């Protein structure tokens, strides 16, 4: 499975089988995480075999079997949310290519336990977690806006622009708001996201998906 194929295959999964991640899968995830940390100066970390990701009531009502998760942490800089969102999008799709399922959580995870299990230090910012594991099912597609609701192009939109917008609409966003505004002119593309405290993370996720769908060589960020 390619990353492009993983975009269509990946859906939110909140209930997981009690199946440990094989050692080779853990190593592959850690290698991918380390590459993201090195490139963007982050402190993302995989935690395995810990059942403390979710508060008790949330775990009982909304999830099951969650015991592996990626802590999205980095230095508290103005652009860290976008960097973490961008990197998390890559990690979710990569996990999908390994036969895993995932769930991006920004509000309902245990901040206390994430901080306790993170090696990023006291001054790091944690914006959420990504649960990974073998899902009890493959999830279902989320409700999506139309391309015209989130995008516009000056003139006739090229196929790469349309493909990029379609890819963005496959991306997970906080509360599924898809609060994107994507504009294109020639080979220039701009993207903004207005989703409150999640705007930075959602923008990073959206940009990663647009690049994967459109192809980086076909455009430049304005």
Task: Report the interhelical angle of 80-97 vs 23-40 (nearest 10°).
Answer: 150
Can you say whether residue 63 is alpha, beta or left, with left for phi > 0 and alpha for psi between -120 and 50 degrees?
Answer: beta
pLDDT in tens, 92-149: 999 999 999 999 999 889 999 999 999 998 899 999 999 999 999 999 998 899 999 9
Structural domains in the chain plus CATH codes: 3-133 (3.40.109.10), 147-216 (3.40.109.30)
Can you say whether residue 118 is alpha, beta or left, with left for phi > 0 and alpha for psi between -120 and 50 degrees?
Answer: beta
**For 62, phi and psi rounded to 5 degrees?**
-120, -15
Least confident of 18-22, 35-39, 171-175: 171-175
């Amino acid at each position: 499975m390619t990353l492009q194929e993983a975009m269509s295959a990946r859906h939110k999964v909140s209930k997981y089988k009690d199946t440990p991640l094989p050692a080779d899968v853990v190593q592959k995830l850690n290698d991918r995480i380390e590459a993201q940390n090195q490139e963007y100066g982050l402190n993302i970390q995989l935690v395995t075999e810990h059942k403390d990701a979710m508060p008790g009531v949330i775990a009982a009502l909304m999830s099951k079997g969650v015991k592996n998760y990626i802590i999205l942490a980095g230095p508290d800089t103005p652009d860290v949310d976008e960097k973490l969102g961008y990197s998390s999008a890559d990690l979710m799709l990569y996990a999908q290519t390994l036969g895993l399922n995932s769930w991006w959580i920004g509000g309902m995870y245990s901040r206390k336990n994430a901080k306790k299990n993170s090696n990023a230090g006291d001054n790091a910012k944690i914006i959420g977690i990504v649960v990974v594991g073998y899902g009890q099912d493959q999830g279902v597609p989320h409700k999506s806006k139309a391309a015209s609701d989130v995008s516009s192009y000056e003139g006739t939109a090229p196929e790469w622009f349309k493909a990029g917008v379609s890819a963005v609409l496959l991306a997970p966003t906080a509360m599924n708001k898809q609060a994107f505004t994507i504009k294109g002119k020639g080979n220039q593309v701009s993207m903004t996201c207005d989703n409150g405290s999640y705007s930075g993370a959602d923008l990073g996720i959206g940009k990663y998906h647009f690049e994967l769908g459109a192809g980086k060589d076909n455009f430049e960020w304005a």
